[in-house]
Structure 1
């Protein structure tokens, strides 16, 4: 048995191609299935089965499209209410994929109908095993249990506690563990590990979901660790249950200067993908900054902040626009209305629209705040509430970036200094404030450096 890992770091997820050298099972594929297909071609195998561990809440699946394209069996829990033809599977069922046996294990917790798959290679006397746990057992923790409904959260947490134990008992201690979530995904919860690989025995010895012998204590701790998750999650499960259509990854024709100007004046969402400092120094009034390529923040935060199903224009170098379109397709944001490129045109932003680009807000580090802050100025912290509670600038206001759009009018009529943990979320927030006509200064610096230069902060 060979397992090919297909990473999607932009969402903190992994998909898997599991094969015996001839035929393959794909587990939890992302919507851009070309990556899976390339892996299959490289391995010289034919895709005969595609399986979902659950109806995903953080991305649009490519499972249905992949299965239909390759004539593969599409394995989905028989209890899931879906609008497409699938091969229904249930707890305890064993399927064959070439010489691999695939055991279906019910592991409710992340969702009510969550499944895991224990795959065994019968070629070896010892029967090497791999466990594909989706959003159940993760490296160091488990999948969050609050995505179904508030009323189900506690019960699902109890289910999660039981499910991970059942899953461990369904496999050998040496079995390799392959979760879908837990690599930065908002679908994970608790003290997730940063390790790249693990086994069932390692998790049994270290994962708090398995080492905590008090179920009520585990549930209490899990519920205390629940934090906000992206707003676009609300749309993923319905899209997946309905059966997503193929992703459209083509770059549309570039918008001309007149049309770009019209969109800006109409208040449409024009997203500038350039570096946040370049945006602060010169940008079109009304555009917003979602820097592309700095860590893995772009997809989640754009889908979280910008209202769903709104006209969207991407402004940036052609290569970044291409990547952004792929990233957004994974969360159901299809075919942005226009893309502007190539790079030479973007750098010469003044040539793109009749309006001149503006340099509308200052940016700097914490020392700028020390030197130029006036008594009436506001320090706005756009981190999550749990981050703010751990430590914050004394006297700062806290509005998470994902709530800012609806609360801008509640802010005092004063100059606003905005910061986050590293500068990324602050740059998004600063552009939203600028778009609303507020006077803003971007603190493009790490929060952890504030106290060291004399900014008064609460103690962690």
Structure 2
């Protein structure tokens, strides 16, 4: 039987995990902490997992690899050079793992995202020999891009970016053009350097045609890659130590119920009480002092970016399913300090008057600026701002907002980002601190057409 590969998506983090099987036994690559998804996929396929592989010590999520391997008694393959505090099957460049008579995995050293990064070529074995049918590339070769080389700090970026270039070339030199490319990052993940262009699948042949690392000279690619690097989420600093220590599986048991009095006390104490509804629902009516982190966007990425790491969180959702989804998202990045939760509507959460948040489009902003002075706050990344921004707008990237509150004037604020999601988070944080805020819930591409002057 030709091996089958099942993709397990985590859109909110821009990542993928994989389950590959031959109809009987299976292996897993880069599982996330909520391992029940992997177990369910294996159960549905009717296969048993014997091996778990990590491409690298991850920087953007807490792994479920160790917990999965321990639960199943599977072999846990982690680079022999990685310094970890748990038992593992050490694996090195060139090692081959016989998963089954028709399926084996070969490790390929591909430093660049980290110094010890490995990719894994899956070889299908037949009577006529073995062929590499797929390669799990982790944070090395992505769809039309590469894993970013700066997550280990500036001192290492110069070396890692050149390692990355060499690693990508090694993959295309050693693997057949028909081999599927199966990266972990690159679907909205901040671990990506460069745009993946929305691709959902690729092969070695396709990457040779379109990936800049394979169509440009090394010097040009290195220069472009370094110039394109921008900020990444603050929570990343906690991920590698957690993964090297060997994290447990996620605890997804329901949080305690928080009543109105408890919510009021926590809001008054300055705790993080997070509203999971859409930004439209939040704007229409919310509990004063609560913060808007809608589940319809990259919820865990931005919550993890902004929240003080040891802070407790109370979740407000329309349903228990919404709270459970948020809890799962948080567990993936190690945010386990959930103080409680409440469900229903804002009037179920407080006896105080509800607050609203004014929303507008860029066309409204264009009209308003003809009549009165307003302050435009752009919370996009610095690179986005540099590529084009509303003339006179102040740029405070969303990840820097808490540290730069003092720089934002006490004036009427019109807050925008690229689509409205990040701006809604920023608007709720600013409103909770007493600012008068208008949320520009609109795509930035509409700003110029609305008559606003755009400059770079």
Give me the TM-score of the superposition, normalised by structure 1. Answer: 0.95
Shift of 1:335: 4.7
1:67–1:73 Cα contact (<8 Å) kept: yes
Q: Is the 8 A contact 1:376 1:414 kept in 2?
A: no
Counterpart of 1:158 in structure 2 is 162
SS in 2 for 1:413: coil
Does 1:238 find its partner at 2:234?
no
Q: Helix, strand or coil for the counterpart of 1:65?
A: helix
Q: Does residue 1:362 correspond to 2:321, yes or no?
A: no
Question: Residue in 1 aligned with 2:425?
Answer: 428
Tell me how far 1:358 sits from its aligned partner. 2.2
**Which residues of structure 2 form unaligned runs of 5+?**
none
Mapped to 2, the partners of 1:351 and 1:398 lie a distance apart of 37
1:226 maps to 2:223: no
Instruction: Indicate conservation of the 8 Å contact 2:312/2:337, yes or no.
Output: no
Alpha-carbon distance, 1:125 to partner: 3.0
With 67-76 and 172-181 compared, the bigger mean Cα shift is at 172-181
Shift of 1:126: 6.0
Distance 2:199 2:419 in 1: 23
Distance in 2 separating the partners of 1:202 and 1:130: 13
State which drifts further: 280-289 or 75-84: 280-289
How far did 1:15 drift? Answer: 0.6
Alpha-carbon offset, residue 280 of structure 1: 2.0
Cα contact 2:80–2:92 (8 A) shared by 1: yes
Q: Write the deviation string for residues 36-65 of structure 1: whole angstroms up to 9, x where unpaired.
A: 111111111110000000000010000000
* Structure 1 vs Structure 2 CA RMSD: 1.5
Partner of 1:387: 384
- How much has 1:366 moved relative to structure 2? 2.3
- The structure richer in strand per residue is 2
Compare 75-84 and 175-184 and name the one that shifted more: 175-184
**Alignment-derived partner of residue 306 in structure 1:** 307
- Residue aligning to 2:123: 120
2:311·2:337 contact (CA, 8 Å) conserved in 1?
A: no
| Cα-to-partner distance string for 1:311-362 (whole Å, 9 max, x where unaligned) | 1011111221111111111111115111111xxxx32x23423433223x42
Q: 1:447 to 1:193 in 2, by over 3 A?
A: closer
Please state how far the C-alpha of 1:200 moved relative to its aligned partner.
Answer: 1.1
In structure 1, the residue matched to 2:62 is 60
User: What are the residue-to-residue correspondences of 1:145-294 with 2, within 5 Å?
Assistant: 145-212=149-216, 214-293=217-296
Given that residues 6 and 16 in structure 1 are in contact (C-alpha distance below 8 angstroms), is that contact kept between their aligned partners in structure 2? yes
Give the secondary structure class of the aligned counterpart of 1:110.
coil
| Aligned residue in 2 for 1:110 | 113
Measured after TM superposition, the shift of residue 20 of structure 1 is: 1.6
Task: Work out the CA distance in 2 between the residues paired with 1:191 and 1:449.
Answer: 22
Partner deviation per Cα, 1:406-457 (whole Å, 9 max, x = no partner): 1111112211111111111111111111011111111111111122222222
Asked whether the 8 Å contact 1:261–1:355 carries over to 2, the reply is no
CA distance in 1, matches of 2:76, 2:30: 11
> Would you say the 8 A contact 2:287–2:349 is kept in 1?
no
Unaligned runs of 5+ in 1: none
The SS at the match of 1:39 is helix
Q: Does the aligned pair in 2 maintain the 1:261–1:354 contact within 8 Å?
A: no
Alignment of 1:319-338 (within 5 A): 319-338=321-340
2:350 aligned residue (348, 353, 362)? 353
Following TM superposition, the consecutive aligned residue runs of length 4 or more in structure 1 with deviations greater than 6 angstroms are none
Paired residues of 2:180 and 2:204 also in contact (CA < 8 A): yes
What is the CA-CA distance between 1:391 and the residue it aligns to? 1.3
State the match for 2:139 in structure 1. 135
Cα deviation, residue 375, structure 1: 4.2
Aligned-pair distance for 1:182?
0.9
Separation in structure 1 between the aligned mates of residue 353 and residue 127 of structure 2, nearest angstrom: 69
Structure 1 CA distance for aligned equivalents of residues 222 and 49 of structure 2: 39
Tell me, what secondary structure is at the counterpart of 1:337? Answer: strand
Residue among 398, 401, 404 paired with 2:401: 404
- Residues 134-179 of structure 1 deviation map (CA, whole Å, 9 limit, x = unaligned): 1011111110000011100010000001111112223222111111
Alignment check: 8 A CA contact 2:141 2:168 kept? yes
Q: Distance in 2 between matches of 1:423 and 1:385?
A: 17
Counterpart Cα distance in 2 of 1:273 and 1:181: 25
**Once the two structures are superposed, what CA deviation does each residue of 1:188-217 show, in whole Å capped at 9, x if it has no partner?**
1123232211111221222111222x2222
Q: How many residues align?
A: 450
